[in-house]
A = this chain, B = another copy of it.
């Protein structure tokens, strides 16, 4: 394999998710399988639910000859521990169109649903035969970055790779259960709390929930779990704009999710924020009633005009 040398250090991004970890472990196991030394580093600890990967991982000690970053679009995502490597990355394998090209070489496939899709092709090109653990690693990246094949980033190729990974023994049933059918106690408690704050506006076309500082403290919920919470209002039938107001010091952080006909960016930009077409955010200073009033007013022309 022309791209990869000996003694490879693989970097995963901070707050690691299934794609950066699945990509890193898949690549690491493949390199080790063809006799190279490889090691993974990450600024944050790896959650227990990835035990089926970490249990098969042996930390190898060596001075890296090559540094590969996987699924890291920007050095801002390196985190504290990896920060010293930010100028030393030989190769970045990624699927984010926003990749800042900080690495010497970049293998960027922006039409891949996950970096793990690119890793799949890399492992094939290396001529390494997939074993069940490698297949499970790559499957993890693909499944988690596509919401288990639900999102619009999925292509025919995504499914074709998944088919091959099933045949190579990927532990897909277990992975799907752990990643998609399991909620933490904190998450379930937070769901209860936010559902009791649910309000409907504009003939039920807008739903709104509130996450208080008190609720965050009480449940101990993590930021990535809160991201899932913000998706709840928009998922309600008929709701075109889902708002989450998250209490911060001095005001509220707004997360807005919209359906196809409403620009979340436009609404949030008008309030000094920004984001994507269907998911954007902003900060509104003031108390809860003021923040609610401001975001609902900003939404009014979008919802009443349509």
Q: State the A residues within 8 Å of B (CB).
A: 148-152, 154-160, 162-164, 166-167, 172-173, 176-177, 180-185, 188, 191-192, 195-196, 198, 204, 232, 235-238
> 12 A-B contacts, Cβ less than 8 Å apart?
A149-B149, A149-B176, A152-B173, A154-B172, A156-B164, A156-B166, A158-B163, A184-B236, A185-B236, A188-B232, A188-B236, A191-B191
A190 closest partner in B (C-beta): B195
- Asked if A204 and B185 sit within 8 Å, CB to CB, the answer is yes
For the complex formed, measure the closest distance between the CB of A261 and the CB atoms of chain B, giving whole angstroms: 14
- Asked if B163 and A159 sit within 8 Å, CB to CB, the answer is yes
For the complex formed, measure the closest distance between the CB of A268 and the CB atoms of chain B, giving whole angstroms: 21
For the complex formed, measure the closest distance between the CB of A154 and the CB atoms of chain B, giving whole angstroms: 7
Report B-chain residues with C-beta under 8 Å of the C-beta of A180: 150
- Asked if B195 and A191 sit within 8 Å, CB to CB, the answer is yes
8 Å CB contact of A149 from B148, B155, B181, B191: B148
8 Å CB contact of A181 from B185, B204, B235: B235
Report B-chain residues with C-beta under 8 Å of the C-beta of A204: 185
Report B-chain residues with C-beta under 8 Å of the C-beta of A235: 181-183
Report B-chain residues with C-beta under 8 Å of the C-beta of A162: 149, 159
- Asked if B238 and A185 sit within 8 Å, CB to CB, the answer is yes
- Asked if B167 and A156 sit within 8 Å, CB to CB, the answer is yes
A174 closest partner in B (C-beta): B152
Q: Lowest 7 CB-CB distances: which A-B pairs, in order?
A: A192-B195, A159-B163, A152-B173, A156-B166, A159-B162, A156-B163, A160-B163
Report B-chain residues with C-beta under 8 Å of the C-beta of A152: 173
Report B-chain residues with C-beta under 8 Å of the C-beta of A159: 159-160, 162-163, 166
8 Å CB contact of A195 from B156, B181, B188, B237: B188
For the complex formed, measure the closest distance between the CB of A180 and the CB atoms of chain B, giving whole angstroms: 5
Report B-chain residues with C-beta under 8 Å of the C-beta of A236: 182-185, 188
Q: Beyond the given A159-B166, A181-B235, please list 12 additional residue pairs across the A-B interface where CB-CB is below 8 A.
A: A149-B176, A150-B176, A157-B163, A158-B163, A160-B163, A182-B235, A184-B236, A185-B237, A185-B238, A188-B232, A191-B191, A192-B192
